[in-house]
Amino acid sequence: MKFVYLSHIVNVLVAGMMGTLLFFNSDSQIIEVFGPQTPARQILSCVYLSIAIMSSVALISKRKTISIAIVLFPVQIVYKILTLIAVSDILNPVPWSNLAVSILHAYSLYLIYKNQLQYKSIT
């Protein structure tokens, strides 16, 4: 299940970094991509930080790694794919990076379900 761990690590790194940068408004490129500091941006930063925190818990607690992935990854996939529809600027890097993370998480979920199906057929 190395891919599931990789998905959680990507969440910690990417969502953690994005959440922190948005929360503290500390980077001019963030302002260029996400616009000025607003309550909506602060809410988005909290969403990113929540994702990073839950993936951190999944990495720390090996018993919860799969359970958290099964809940967190589908929500992220839907949210991230919706950004492709919602953001009309095709040059904006956020929807495209979201798509890449969605593909990673979708593959992780595929491996989880494939592994569970194999386990059920053995027992």
Map tokens 């990073």 to a residue: 52
59 has pLDDT over 80: yes
Number of domains in the chain: 1
What is the model's pLDDT at position 37?
87
Mean pLDDT of 21-35: 83
Give me the chain's average pLDDT, please: 91
What is the model's pLDDT at position 34?
84
pLDDT digits 0-9 by tens, 61-78: 999 999 999 999 999 999
101 in Cβ contact with 14 (< 8 Å): yes
Q: Which residues span the domain enclosing 42? A: 2-122
45 in Cβ contact with 31 (< 8 Å): no
What is the model's pLDDT at position 29?
82
119 has pLDDT over 70: no
Find the radius of gyration of the CA atoms of the chain: 16
54 has pLDDT over 80: yes
